[in-house]
Amino acid sequence: MTEPLTFALAKGRLLDETLPILSALGIEPTESLTGSRKLMFETNHPEIRLLVLRATDVPPYVERGGAHLGIAGKDTLLEYGSDMLCEPVDLKLSACRLMTAMRVGATLPSTGRVRVATKYVNVARAHFAAQGRQIDPIKLYGAMELAPVVGMSDVIVDVVDTGNTLRANGLEPRDLIAHSTARLVVSRVAMKTRHALIQPLIESLNAWVDKQHAA
């Protein structure tokens, strides 16, 4: 028997938005994905199983064949930067903007490396390189907003939704780097080898997205 199609989902806010999509596709986990310590779940579909991963781990799992496909934010995919992944469906969920932000009224140092606090080090490096600036990256996993306030960085690169978190910490948005939404991500290999199962899922997901935006 061939291995089941393995679908990697991201924990957290994206998972809450993903479950109704799976349901719309007729894929139901056989037990609750939230509140369990398990990482792999069977579904009502004998040929499909689910993995529940950290959002940043979805691209490497899909790229390296640990999963055939997954759902990941464009922000995470830009940072991961693989040409072995394709994004056949824009799910138009979890919309946010990848931006730089600084203390209100602050300016970048005129020379030298720009100190950037972020979990998006690759994105930040490319963004500032396009402006002819090198960065001194400070890799953080949360609370980037604090770094400029305590004088640890000149700027942050983070995802922004309403901008309330920036404002609450005395920061203001500056450059828009990219818009981000959740994407279906499939490895180029699985796209070929598991086409018979993946293609109908892509079509159903595209129909689901069109229906959501038809009203």
Q: Is 141 in the site for ligand AMP (CB under 6 A)?
A: no
Whether 119 and 144 have beta carbons less than 8 Å apart is answered as yes
Helix ranges (DSSP H) in the chain: 13-24, 58-63, 74-80, 121-129, 146-149, 164-168, 188-193, 195-212
Is 164 a binding residue for ligand AMP by CB under 6 A? The answer is yes
Closer residue to ligand AMP (CB): 95 or 106: 95
Cβ closer to ligand AMP: 15 or 191? 15
User: Is 178 a residue that touches ligand AMP (CB under 6 A)?
Assistant: no
Rank residues 48 and 91 by Cβ distance to ligand AMP and give the closer one.
Answer: 91
At 60 the three-state DSSP class reads: helix
What are the tokens at 199? 């293609």
Whose Cβ is closer to ligand AMP: residue 25's or residue 146's?
Answer: 146
Q: Which of 33, 96, 178, 197 binds ligand AMP (CB under 6 A)?
A: 96
CB-based burial, 49-62: b 16+ in 10 Å, e otherwise: bbbbbebbbbbebb
Q: How far, in Å, CA of 111 to CA of 132, rounded?
A: 11
Regarding 60 and contact with ligand AMP (CB under 6 A), the answer is no
Is 2 near ligand AMP (CB under 6 A)?
A: no
Q: Is 42 in the site for ligand AMP (CB under 6 A)?
A: no
Phi/psi for 125 (5° steps) reads: -60, -45
Tally Cβ neighbours within 10 Å of residue 169: 17
CA distances from 196 to 83, 85, 202 (A): 22, 18, 11
**Interaction mask 62-81, ligand AMP, x per CB under 6 A:** -----------x--------
- The residue count for binding ligand AMP (CB under 6 A) is 12
Is residue 160 a contact residue for ligand AMP (CB under 6 A)? yes
Cβ distance to ligand AMP smaller for residue 172 or 191: 172
Residues in contact with ligand AMP by CB under 6 A are 13, 73, 94, 96, 158-165
